[in-house]
Structure 1
Amino acid sequence: MHHLQLKLAALLASAAAVSCQNYTQLARTLSNTAQIYQPGSAAFNAAVLRWSNFSTPVANVVVVPGTENDVVETVKFANEYSLPFLATNGVHGSITTLGKMTSGIEIHMSQLNSIAVAQDGSTATIGGGVMSKNLTDALWAVGRQTAYDHHWASTDLETVTGTCECVGYMGPGLGGGHGWLQGRYGLVSDQYVSLNVVLANGSLITVDESSELFWAMKGAGHNFGIVTSIISKVYDIQYPNYAMETLIFSGDQVEDVYSLANQQWFTNASMPVDLINWSYWYFDPTIDAEKPVIAMYLIQEGVQTVDAAHTNPFLQLGPIATQNVSGTYRDLAAWTGISLNDTPCQKTGNANPRFPIYLKSYNATAQRQVYDLFNQATTNASTPFSDALFMFEGYSQQGVKAIGQNATAFAYREDNLLAAPLLTYAPNGPAVDAVASELGNKIRQILFEGSGEISLNTYVNYAYGDETPVAWYGSEQWRQNRLSALKEDFDPAGQFSFYAPIM
Structure 2
Amino acid sequence: MANNFQDLRNTVKGVILTPGDEGYLESLKRWSEASVKPAAVVVQPDNAEEVSKTVKYATANAIPLTVMSGGHATSGSSSSDGGMVLDLRRINSVHVNPAGQTVTFGGGCKWAQVDEACAKHGLATVGGTVNHTGVGGFILGGGMGWLTPKLGLTIDNLLSAQVVLADGSIVTASEKENDDLFWALRGAGQNFGVVTSFTLRLYHQEKVYAGPIIFTLDKLPAVVAFTNWFHHNHTGNEAFWAGVCGSAPGASDPAIMCMVFRSGSQKEGEEFYKPLLNLGPLNVLAAEMQYHKANDLVPHCEERVRRLQGGANFVMPLDVDFVQRIADEFLAFVEDKGIGGGSMCMFECVPWGKVISVPKDATAYPSRGEFYHFATVIMWQDEELDDEVRQFQRNLLGKVREKGHQGPGGQYANYVAEKMNPKLMFGDSLGRLRVLKKKFDPNNVFYKWHGLWAAEP
Q: Do both share a fold (TM > 0.5)?
A: yes
Alignment match, 2:60: 80
Per-residue CA deviations over 1:247-288 (Å, capped at 9, x if unaligned) read 3222233233113311331xxx25322212123421239966
- Tell me how far 1:468 sits from its aligned partner: 2.3
Sort the Cα spacing of 1:322 and 1:128 in 2 relative to 1 into closer, same or farther, 3 A: closer
Contact 1:448–1:456 (CA<8 Å) still a contact in 2?
no
Alignment match, 1:372: 328
- Tell me how far 1:93 sits from its aligned partner: 0.7
Mapped partners of 1:324, 1:95: distance in 2: 32
Alignment match, 1:228: 196
Paired letter, 1:71: V
- Tell me how far 1:243 sits from its aligned partner: 1.7
Paired letter, 2:69: N
Alignment match, 2:44: 64
Query: Is 2:174 the partner of 1:208?
Result: yes
Alignment match, 1:192: 158
Query: Is 2:404 the partner of 1:436?
Result: no
Query: Is 2:283 the partner of 1:283?
Result: no
Mapped partners of 1:97, 1:231: distance in 2: 24
Alignment match, 2:230: 264
Per-residue CA deviations over 1:278-336 (Å, capped at 9, x if unaligned) read 234212399667x62111222221112344553232244343343442221122134x3
Structure 1: runs of 5 or more not aligned: 1-17, 143-155
- Tell me how far 1:470 sits from its aligned partner: 2.7
Query: Is 2:75 the partner of 1:95?
Result: yes
Contact 1:115–1:126 (CA<8 Å) still a contact in 2?
yes
Contact 2:212–2:284 (CA<8 Å) still a contact in 1?
yes
Contact 1:469–1:502 (CA<8 Å) still a contact in 2?
yes
Contact 1:271–1:397 (CA<8 Å) still a contact in 2?
no
Correspondent of 1:329 among 281, 291, 308 = 291
Mapped partners of 1:218, 1:396: distance in 2: 20
Correspondent of 1:391 among 331, 346, 349 = 346
Query: Is 2:208 the partner of 1:242?
Result: yes
Per-residue CA deviations over 1:106-144 (Å, capped at 9, x if unaligned) read 1111111122234732322221112111111112224xx
Paired letter, 2:57: F
Contact 2:346–2:376 (CA<8 Å) still a contact in 1?
yes
Query: Is 2:83 the partner of 1:104?
Result: yes
Per-residue CA deviations over 1:363-397 (Å, capped at 9, x if unaligned) read 322211111101211223x5345541113322243
Mapped partners of 2:285, 2:443: distance in 1: 54
Partner SS, residue 273 of structure 2 = helix
Contact 1:39–1:60 (CA<8 Å) still a contact in 2?
yes
Sort the Cα spacing of 1:456 and 1:74 in 2 relative to 1 into closer, same or farther, 3 A: closer
Contact 1:36–1:63 (CA<8 Å) still a contact in 2?
yes
Per-residue CA deviations over 1:430-451 (Å, capped at 9, x if unaligned) read xx22211221122112212223
Alignment match, 1:12: none
Paired letter, 1:272: T
* Cα RMSD, aligned residues only: 2.4
Contact 1:358–1:415 (CA<8 Å) still a contact in 2?
no
Alignment match, 1:450: 403
Mapped partners of 1:393, 1:286: distance in 2: 19
Mapped partners of 1:311, 1:390: distance in 2: 21
Query: Is 2:434 the partner of 1:480?
Result: no
Alignment match, 2:95: 116
Per-residue CA deviations over 1:446-498 (Å, capped at 9, x if unaligned) read 21222363458322112121432233223x3xx22111111122112111111
Paired letter, 1:197: V
Partner SS, residue 423 of structure 2 = helix
Contact 1:95–1:462 (CA<8 Å) still a contact in 2?
no
* Percent of residue pairs identical: 26
- Tell me how far 1:180 sits from its aligned partner: 1.9
Structure of greater Rg:
1
TM-score w.r.t. structure 1 length?
A: 0.83
Paired letter, 2:423: V
Paired letter, 2:198: I
Per-residue CA deviations over 1:143-202 (Å, capped at 9, x if unaligned) read xxxxxxxxxxxxx32211222221112220000011222222211111211111111111
Contact 2:239–2:351 (CA<8 Å) still a contact in 1?
yes
Alignment match, 1:23: 5
Mapped partners of 1:397, 1:141: distance in 2: 29
Partner SS, residue 172 of structure 2 = strand
Paired letter, 1:440: Q
Correspondent of 2:30 among 22, 35, 50 = 50
**Matched residue count:** 450
Sort the Cα spacing of 1:57 and 1:489 in 2 relative to 1 into closer, same or farther, 3 A: farther
Query: Is 2:368 the partner of 1:413?
Result: yes
TM-score w.r.t. structure 2 length?
A: 0.91
Correspondent of 1:304 among 266, 274, 277 = 266
Query: Is 2:121 the partner of 1:128?
Result: no
Sort the Cα spacing of 1:465 and 1:366 in 2 relative to 1 into closer, same or farther, 3 A: same
Contact 1:355–1:422 (CA<8 Å) still a contact in 2?
yes
Alignment match, 1:219: 187
Alignment match, 1:11: none
Correspondent of 1:313 among 245, 250, 275 = 275
Mapped partners of 1:224, 1:57: distance in 2: 23
Contact 2:128–2:295 (CA<8 Å) still a contact in 1?
no
Mapped partners of 2:322, 2:186: distance in 1: 32
Contact 2:226–2:276 (CA<8 Å) still a contact in 1?
yes
